[in-house]
Each structure stands twice: as structure tokens, then as C-alpha cells.
Structure 1
């Protein structure tokens, strides 16, 4: 799938830089270099390794209330992006949207720029292009300031109805609160998320004659995400190891003679199903009740000979049982010569998400306390 990447705010822009770096270092393509980062500041962020200066737009640099960002002020970010949107649009015009399948807006929803400017940007992109506009949103950690929870809750109310789907990443689940180096912890979380996004959306340039019947294409992903709402992603990977490890463990679970063809088929199917189970039971980008998903997609990547057709069917049937939906698509991403097999599970339009419920309660309490404080100060 070919997507333009648009990073909003400092956190969203750094994540786009990480995704582009992972894409550029491998053999899979996601944005093909078609990206843009947007931030509100009087100073330009020069820390990017994979985003060139002409792909970065600084807005708000002439606004009287802006210094080095908006300091979490969501309303100010909305005001700035609306005033400076013509400058953003000029940069967007350099991206050949007609050749792409859609746009992925990347933002940290606890910050003022990501939550405020991100919501406005999604609405404007929907007006400009007849392509799906997806959002990759990062939720603030539970220990972040209450204002971050309020920003994220407000942003979700605007972004979820406007976007074609919102893939969420819960920092609270991925960050180690006891880590000595906080910056390194955030970089590690960014790499984990970037790996899942590249595995889900990016594809290797393939010979059309070599594409099999099970090969996943962009229409399958678009169909799975089409109900909108909130999406979570699971991932698992294993090295191909004939001498032990994951494969030996699977073999030990299978009855009968392992030397015949039927046993080999069971082994391949068991290996695929075990990997899919691991992906669904791994740390999802957003912890949720999997049975609340409306649609599910599983993408298996690895050498074609390792991607068992029987394994596809058994994994799909198992996912139907676990997620309690018949809207399950399964496809492969053949990678000749790869030394690993991986599975990505996409849970679309999940509705039972305890983290969002807790964040909304935190936001309500914060708003209530601010109202009480304002009333006391006016007396």
C-alpha cells in the first residue's frame, strides 16, 4: 500500500522520521519518499535523519503567541494551523496523491500541536483528496499531566469521526516507567510502532507474474479499515530455525510420524497458526477486547514456501472464533530469501478499550477541577 506520511507536531514528526528510516533501510516501500512534517515553532527542528529540510513545514513562526511551540495549548494550535494552512497546502501539492492509495497522518495526541493541528489537518485533507485519510495516533501515558489526557480526549472526539480509521498506540503499555533514559525509552517505543506500521502497510516490489492468489493488496487493507473507528495492531515474528526454537516447539505438539508429507503439512499449518496466536496475544498497540473488533486482517510475511495455504485457513478460522466475527481476511506478503516469518493482526473498529475510558474519566475530572478553580478565583 502506498501512503503519503504527514507528521504533525514534534512527536508525530519524529515518528515519521523513524518510519521513513526503517523503510529506507529495508526492501519494503510505504511512502516512497512522499512525506511531510509540520510543526508549530519559531525554530526549525534539525534533528531529523531521514526527512529533508524541504519536507518540513514550520508554521506559527509569525504568530505573536508562539515561541518554541504552543506548550500544550490545543486551541492555539487550531488557530495557527487554520491561519497558515495555505503554506501547508503548497507543500502538500508537491506530493503526487493521484499515485498513492491514501494518507497517513501521524500525531501524538497528548500534545497541543498533535491534538489540535492534527484534527484540523485531517478535516482539510478529506476535503482536498478523494483518498482514504488514516491517522496513527499516540496516546499519552497515564502519568502524563492531566492536560495531555484532556487534549487526547478532545482530539479523539474530532479525529475519529473525520478519519477513515484511527490506529492508536498506547504509550502507557509500551514505556518503562523505571527507565533511566526517558528519551531512549521513547525512541524504542517509536521503533516498535514503526516496525508494525511498515509490516502492515509496506510491500516489496514484486514481479506481477509471481504474485499468488493469497497475496495481500491495498484493497484488502482499505476494506478492513473501512468501518472507521479505532484500530489496534498485534505483531509476532520468529526466526526460521530448523535446529530448534519455535519450529521445534511446534513439532513437539504434533502427533504422528513427522516424516511424511501429511505431517509436514500439519507442521506448516501449526507453525502459521501458532504465530498468529502469538500476534493476537502479544502487546497490542492499543489493549482492547478483541471480540469487540468489527473486522480483522492478518498479514503473513516470509519465504513463500513457509506460508502454508492450510495454515492460512486454520489461522483465519481461529481468528473468527477469538474475535467473534466472520469479517476476517488473511493474506500473505511473500519475501523470497527472508530468514524470518512474521504475522501482523489488524483489529478494526474496536469498541471496548479500557485505556480510552480511563483517559476520558481523567479528562472529565481535570475539566471539572479547572471549572471549580476558576469559580473560586472569580469570587
Structure 2
């Protein structure tokens, strides 16, 4: 799937940069383009993968009337950059932003520019602030969400409170497992270098991993999938669907599983059962634990399942069991599914990604409305 990403503000710019980061198996992704707009020049300077020509410094925060700033060089430059892409270059546009940030108020103006310039659907990927970021930011985040919702074709919700807790746990575990005397830098899955990393950086990588898998699903595959899932089906799942969550659970395969002897044994009935059970277990984890934001997925109008991993490790029996479970669980009637078989030399990891769209209940969003909605009306 060909995607144009607009990173808005510090959080959005860092997420956009993480999404287009090269993996260990590719130097670049020609289907991804990114633009970053921020009011912190140091943040723009530290973006590694977005080109200098696609970084735009916006020198003002908490914009009250962004429509009055069309003559400002930043907005004109962003507009020119967008117009520079040929019609039909992308399948969709993704606006990334941290709710509660100062530049989120630019979203209506930038979306209107995108709508003037392109005909592709526009989605937002937003992060909800953690509790320790303060009540003022949380109230602003609620207002931002209400503002953005009618402007875009769908909103992917990512709960920072949930994922920062997970990230801190992951980093603590990594540090404890590291032998003494080694560099403080750590190696993260999918990276091409060892890096110093914060919990927020790790959260951004979790976000990026989900988006990159979806982009990869829409590409022509080297190995033939059992069930093909193209870009159009992905877009049909999320377009016009309001709130969207994405779950992703992964399991690294032990090194020995790639040897010919074990692979031969895996053709036994026990081996087939184990592979099917792994897919079901990962799907449950993706839906209940490693979801971008907790939700009542029984209220979803549509769903999508995507399997990825070494060809010999993808169990169609497990795949069909998960597909039946999700199909019977959601409120709607549209259920799409596909797989991405890859060489075991490329990756020794099995992944299950699940999208729930058209959700009536996203737990953290509902909590914000219940806590601050009444207060907002009273004021």
C-alpha cells in the first residue's frame, strides 16, 4: 500500500519518522513518503529518515486561527510539497499527531489543503496522552478528538498510558538481561543499528510496526499467500469507520525450528497442532492485550486479520479458527483476512495483526468523555 504520512507536532513527526525507518532487510520503502511539521527545530533536526526537504518548521504554538496563516511560508511550503506529488501516487494519506499538542489545531486547515490537492482518503493516527501529562492536556486531547473526528475518514487510536507502561517494562527487561560492561545502547528488533532509546521512542516503534505491516500487505508478495489481501480491502475496512484500533502480537521462533530435521518433524500431527495453537494464542493476545487501545471489539462494524511469518509456520487451520472467532464476535458483517508468507531467512517471527473499525466503544476515549465532557459543558 502506498502511503503519504504527515507528521504534525513533536509526537506526530517522530511517529512518521519511525514508520519510514528502513528495516534490516531493506534500505528504503518506495511506497512510503513522509512530511514533518513541528515548532521545535531540534526535533526536526533529529529526525533521521525524513529528508530535509520534507521538514517544515512552524514557528508558533497554540494556533487560534490557522486559516489566517495561509500566507506564512510554512503553510505555503507544505501545500507546495503536497501538490508536488503526482495524482494517484498514494493510496491514502495518514496524519499523525499527539492529542493535546499545540499544533493539533492545524489539522482542519491541513486536511482542507489535502482535500483540495488529493482525492485519496485521509486518516488520522492519534496518541492519547498519559495521565501524568496533566489534566489540562487531557481536556485538550478530548477537544482535539472531537474536532478531528468529522474531518477524516477514520481515526486510529493509540493509548500512550497503556503503551508507555508496556514500553517501560520492555526496556527494564532488556537492561536486566544485558551482560554487565556492555554499551548502554540496545538492539531492538527490526533496527539496523544499536540505539539509545526512551519509552516514547519504543512506543513509536510499536506504532510504526503496525502501519508497516499493513503497507507490506498491499504489496506484491514474493511468496504466494494462501489468502490475498490487497490495498483496496484494507482501505475498505477502515474508510468511513470512525474509531479504529490495531492489535499486533508476535512470537520469535527458536533458532532450531529452522533446521531441516525439526522442519521435517513439524509435518507431524503434533507439529501441525502446535502451529495452529500458536496462531490462536497470538490472535487472543492481539485482541485483548497488545491492542493499540483497549476497546469493546464486539461493537466493531468491520474487522481484518493479517498473518505474517515463515511460510512453513503459518497454519491455515489456526487462521480459519481465528477468522471464525472474530467474525462471530463483531457487531458488523464485514470480515477480511490475508497472510504474508516470507522466507525464514528474512524473519524468524510469526505475527498476527487484527484491525477493529467502526468501534462504538474505545475504553480510554469513553473515559475522557465521562471525566471531562460534563465539565466542558458546564464551563
Q: Which structure 2 residue ranges, 5 or more long, are not aligned? A: 172-196, 258-264
- 1:274 and 1:359 map into 2 onto residues whose CA distance is 31
Note the 1:111-126 alignment, pairs <5 A: 111-113=101-103, 115-126=104-115
Match of 1:296 among 285, 293, 303: 303
SS of the residue corresponding to residue 143 of structure 1 reads helix
Match of 1:238 among 251, 261, 265: 251
SS of the residue corresponding to residue 107 of structure 2 reads helix
Note the 1:135-284 alignment, pairs <5 A: 135-176=124-165, 184-203=198-217, 206=220, 210-241=223-254, 264-284=271-291
| Matched residue, 1:251 | none
Larger Rg: 1
| Matched residue, 1:108 | 98
Match of 2:364 among 336, 355, 362: 355
Q: Deviations over 1:216-273 (max 9, x none)?
A: 21112111112420101111111223869xxxxxxxxxxxxx9885555444333322
Describe the shift of the 1:323–1:241 C-alpha distance in structure 2 as closer, same or farther (beyond 3 A).
farther
Which consecutive segments of 4 or more residues in structure 1 shift more than 6 A?
177-181
1:82 Cα deviation from its structure 2 partner: 8.1
**What is the alpha-carbon root mean square deviation over aligned residues?**
3.2
- 2:146 and 2:85 map into 1 onto residues whose CA distance is 28
Normalised TM-score (structure 1): 0.80
- 1:259 and 1:336 map into 2 onto residues whose CA distance is 17
Q: Which moved more, 1:172-181 or 1:215-224?
A: 172-181
Residue 320 of structure 2 is aligned to residue 321 of structure 1: no
1:287 Cα deviation from its structure 2 partner: 1.0
Describe the shift of the 1:136–1:350 C-alpha distance in structure 2 as closer, same or farther (beyond 3 A).
same
1:351 Cα deviation from its structure 2 partner: 1.0
Describe the shift of the 1:176–1:117 C-alpha distance in structure 2 as closer, same or farther (beyond 3 A).
same
| Matched residue, 2:188 | none
| Matched residue, 1:247 | none
- 2:168 and 2:313 map into 1 onto residues whose CA distance is 38
Q: Which structure 1 residue ranges, 5 or more long, are not aligned? A: 245-257, 372-379
Q: Deviations over 1:280-301 (max 9, x none)?
A: 1223111111111111101100
- Count of residues paired in the alignment: 343
